[in-house]
Structure 1
Amino acid sequence: QHKGARSPSASPCLQQKHARGQVLFDMVCEHLNLLEKDYFGLTFCDSDSQKNWLDPSKEIKKQIRSGPWNFAFTVKFYPPDPAQLTEDITRYYLCLQLRADIITGRLPCSFVTHALLGSYAVQAELGDYDAEEHVGNYVSDLRFAPNQTRELEERIMELHKTYRGMTPGEAEIHFLENAKKLSMYGVDLHHAKDSEGIDIMLGVCANGLLIYRDRLRINRFAWPKILKISYKRSNFYIKIRPGEYEQFESTIGFKLPNHRSAKRLWKVCIEHHTFFRLVSPEPPPKGFLVMGSKFRYSGRTQAQTRQASALIDRPAPFFERSSSKRYTMSRSLDG
């Protein structure tokens, strides 16, 4: 959730007219001391205020046609099992993203879960409860929920007192183990209409495509069930493998707000399918890729990044867990 903007003092790499997205992304990860970087990406907003992923393989200037170069460092692929991440620092950045997701309401939680996750965040940030230091409502300046109440803060403090001896890294592992069970964990939502013109949301995640109506999940298509995805103009299509008692494949269509949003959803699906399902990225135009499109996911897959993580050989990097009091969504990269 760190944002960075172009500046005159930026690295010479970025002053090259034709720098690709990968150059900027690598600089950001180096600044953050992050090696397990394949789960993350940079986003920017287009002229319609829609979130887009910066394509590492393309020149930055060809992706951002107008306006300032403002980027957000964000989790792109939420690991289904965060315990398999190798380094504490990677889990820390995932925790920061999830805390932002919770505060903004993107990741809905019950009161009980808000309290549990909040208490682990406090333990990671403030350490053991200290009766002399932690007096009164000592968590009131920290953010845990979109509509935070005094009742929630009191429950968080009760739980925090029971965690004596738990290290910040352990607290973050507990936080992630609970967060990953939430139904909206790692779901990238897109507005759409079904074949009858009813408003729905299409959610892309590690396991496949989810369909929501009025915030309730009404259907789920796992990646192995989907034979092909495509888009034409503002329509998005999935071809479904026949069921046990069915003879033919079926195609389901959805209407997106416009052509760009249909293409954006298609690309997010391609990337999630490749990252989570394949051992290595496939060259076009096989498999999921619609004929005629050159786009493919060019980064490492989850299988490849896990192999690379196993080879990380450095002392655990020291980093400061910044207090939520100072932590803002717009903290600058060079700040």
Structure 2
Amino acid sequence: MRESLRRLASEEDCERGASAGGMRRVRVELLDGEFINVDLHRKAKGSDLLDKVCQSLDLVEGDYFGLLHQQRGDPRVWVDLNRRLSKTFRNEPWDVRLAVKFYPPEPSELQDDGTRYQLSLAVRRDLMEGRLRCSDITYAVLASYIAQAELGDLTTTPLTAATLTDLRAAPPRVLTAALCEDIDQLYRRHQGQTPAQAELNYLENAKKIPLYGAELHCAKDSEDVDIVLAVCANGISVYRDGVQMNRFPWAKITKISYNKRLYTLKLRPSEFEPFETQLAFKLPATRACKKLWKCSVEHHIFFRRESVVGVCRVAGLPAFGTRRVSCRRTLRQLRANTTQPVSAAA
């Protein structure tokens, strides 16, 4: 009986593969929590999947976005856009999450309302999942703009914690009675704002949060103290116990490298230091160190370079663990021609 069932399942898989013509189905979780299915050829790359997702959402500025998947217990691994999906996902199902990879430092400069809306959803998700934290005053301001964008000019009933939770306006743990009252009072001051205006005001306040758009990586400093390295549009910051200890703008960094678990930054000489400074941080594993290095290089390329540059391998060393970055256009290229197809600009 088992052999018959196994043979029947095998025949059904063959028929399914033949009828699909080598197609694979990818389930994509969108930023609003909804799911869509995308059918792609088995030889398609990550960029093909991202393009199809952006097309389904009518996103013009798709270069800000990326796709996350889970790998070896890490839920935040970016899909390599230059690699075939069949090599990224060894087994089915192929599940990914749409996310903002490069948070624009000035949301008002976005050309597309759809991109601005997706960015606001990403910030809301960061707040709900605890990757982004702020004061109660900021929570109240942000939640009031979300209520205006989602509900419009409703003045009959006061906002409750249940309503704000359904809107994903703020994490449930912070929605005290006092905070809900503050949110309701601020919300009534926004009467007359369109959803687009409310979303822009939301982002203009969200960009002031210290860790807005930052990718966080746990590490240890030279004294073996636990720290967090935050990579964002402006550079790399060092946090200890939630307090910013140091900040290195991209203009000050001359070299980013890693060797096994050691992540190294080389800094330009300052006014009081005649020589270059080299800082080393220890990551928990080689995979985590490479992930931090790749994140740093991609952010530097996107926000600082005029065009995408390749990362060359050191001559004479083996090519184990290729140092390939996944960035198709820089911010300058994106701003120069928003409507130009990615394939023509890459």
Question: What interval of TM-score do these two structures reach, taking the shorter chain for normalisation?
Answer: 0.7 to 0.9
The CA distance in 2 between the partners of 1:124 and 1:23, in whole Å, is 32
Structure 1 residues 280, 246: CA separation in 2 closer, same or farther (over 3 Å shift)?
A: same
> Separation in 2 of the partners of 1:89 and 1:181?
22
Aligned with 2:298 (options 256, 259, 271): 271
Matched, 1:106 2:131: yes
- Per the alignment, residue 18 of structure 2 pairs with none
179, 182, 187: which one pairs with 2:214?
187
Distance 2:153 2:147 in 1: 9
Query: Does residue 53 of the first structure (1) align with residue 78 of the second (2)?
Result: yes
Higher relative contact order (CA 8 A, sep 6+): 1
Q: Does 1:197 align with 2:193?
A: no
1:51: how far off? 1.4
TM-score calculated relative to the size of structure 1: 0.84
- Separation (CA, whole Å) in 2 of partners of 1:96 and 1:201: 25
Looking at structure 2, the residues matched to 83 and 4 of structure 1 have their Cα atoms a distance apart, in angstroms, of 26
Matched, 1:62 2:87: yes
The correspondence for 2:277, drawn from 234, 250, 254, is 250
Other-structure match for 2:255: 228
Which of the residues 125, 149, 168 maps onto 1:143?
168
The gaps in structure 1 that reach 5 residues or longer are 313-335
> Normalising by the residue count of structure 2, what TM-score does the alignment of the two structures yield?
0.81
Partner SS state of residue 72, structure 2: coil
Cα root mean square deviation, aligned: 2.4
What CA distance in whole angstroms lies between the structure 2 residues aligned with 1:202 and 1:228?
16
Deviation at 1:113, TM superposition (A): 0.8
Q: Give ranges in structure 2 of 5+ residues lacking alignment.
A: 1-28, 342-346
Please tell me whether the aligned partners of residues 274 and 297 of structure 1 are also in contact (alpha carbons under 8 angstroms). Answer: no
Relative to 1, partners in 2 of residues 1:127 and 1:50: Cα closer, same or farther, differing over 3 Å?
A: closer
Structure with the higher helix share, 1 or 2: 2
Counterpart residue identity of residue 132, structure 2: L
For these two proteins, the number of residue pairs brought into alignment is 303
Name the residue aligned to 2:312.
285
In structure 2, the CA distance between the partners of 1:162 and 1:245, relative to structure 1 (3 Å rule), is closer
- The 2-side partners of 1:183 and 1:237 are apart by 23
Q: Which residue matches 1:41?
A: 66
Question: Which letter maps to 2:282?
Answer: K
Contact 1:4 1:70 in 2 (8 A): no
Give percent identity, aligned residues only: 43
Q: Following the alignment from structure 1 to structure 2, what is the Cα–Cα distance between the partners of residues 219 and 97? A: 26
* Superposed counterparts of 1:295-310, under 5 Å: 295-309=324-338
| Cα separation, 1, equivalents of 2:239 and 2:201 | 29
1:196-218: CA deviation from partner (whole Å, max 9, x where unpaired): 21111111011111101111110
**Alpha carbons 1:36, 1:305 under 8 Å: kept:** yes
After TM superposition, give the deviation of residue 17 of structure 1 in Å: 2.3
Q: Is the aligned partner of 1:213 residue 2:237?
A: no
Cross-structure match for 1:30: 55
Larger radius of gyration: 2
How far 1:130 moved relative to its partner?
3.4
String of CA shifts for 1:108-132, please: whole Å, max 9, x gaps: 111111111101000000111232x
